[in-house]
């Protein structure tokens, strides 16, 4: 499913094993300004819950999460 989000940062963590994708995502979020969007591509499709927990714990807006052809795509907006 396509969306109309424009990512300010694109993070490709495909091929990395847990917990590295979430750790790298956390570091990338530090580079975002308020209202900016991070797009994460991960081959660890089982980590969806970890991204939801990260968004909740940091007060991020989880705009979208889906799996397309074995790639988890997450869109997060920093408050």
In a domain, 72, yes or no: yes
For the chain of 79 residues, list the mean pLDDT of each consecutive stretch of 10.
83 93 95 97 91 95 94 96
In a domain, 2, yes or no: no
In a domain, 3, yes or no: no
Full-prediction pTM beyond 0.85?
Answer: yes
In a domain, 46, yes or no: yes
Kindly report the three-state secondary structure assignment for every residue of the chain: CCCCCCCCEEEECCCCCCCHHHHHHHHHHHCCCCCCEEEEEECCHHHHHHHHHHHHHHCCEEEEEEEECCEEEEEEECC
> Is 76 labeled as catalytic in the residue annotation?
no
Query: Domain count of the chain?
Result: 1
Which CATH number fits the domain that encloses residue 31? 3.30.110.40
Catalytic position from the list 15, 17, 18, 56: 18
In a domain, 1, yes or no: no
In a domain, 4, yes or no: no
Residue 40: give the domain boundaries: 9-77
């Amino acid at each position: 499913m396509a969306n109309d989000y424009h990512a300010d940062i694109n993070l490709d963590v495909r091929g990395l094993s847990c917990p590295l994708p979430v750790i790298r995502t956390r570091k990338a979020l530090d580079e975002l300004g308020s209202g900016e969007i991070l797009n994460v591509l991960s081959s660890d499709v089982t980590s969806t819950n970890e991204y939801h927990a990260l968004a909740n714990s940091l007060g991020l807006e989880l705009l979208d999460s889906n799996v397309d052809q074995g790639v988890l795509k997450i869109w997060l907006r920093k408050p």
